[in-house]
Amino acid sequence: MKIVILLAAIVVVLAILTLGISFPVRSSYASKAKLIQRVEKSTGDDLFGDNGTVIGSPQMLIIEDEKAFLGPVKPGEPLSVDEKYLKDHNVYPLQLKTVDFFINYIRLSTGMSLIIAIIAYALASRRLKSATTITVVQS
């Protein structure tokens, strides 16, 4: 029983730490995310003054390489990113949706393990106390 109590206490501590760390991690990623439109530029686009072919819709992405961004941006419009540059330099944008997805599941599973560990700790403590009490009475 003592080992169950020890393991449950370790899980409780780790779960609380994980839950506590998940909030600043998500905030850090959210602060780096920008509304970005991926654009595929061809050689004729610059010649004719075209902005390129839009790929998908604007997304909240995290891209740390500043060279990937195209030209000046008008206020209220998403930043444009050159898709060819991303592919050539192996830059993989991270969607904020993906971060949120994993953080939510980490929080959910950590919360569930916390609840289970607290229940295991309480039951093991109670059983250890009752086993100690019975042993004393029998002696």
Give me the DSSP letters along the chain. Answer: -HHHHHHHHHHHHHHHHHHHHHHHHHHHHHHH-EEEEEEE--HHHHHHT---EEEEEEEEEE---GGGEES---TTSPEEEEHHHHHHTT---EEHHHHHHHHHHHHHHHHHHHHHHHHHHHHHHHHHHHHHHHHHHH-
pTM reported for the whole predicted model: 0.74
Q: What is the pLDDT along the chain (139 residues), one digit of tens a residue?
A: 789 899 999 999 999 999 999 999 999 999 999 999 898 877 666 555 666 788 889 999 999 888 888 877 778 889 989 888 899 999 899 999 999 999 999 999 999 999 999 999 999 888 877 776 555 555 5
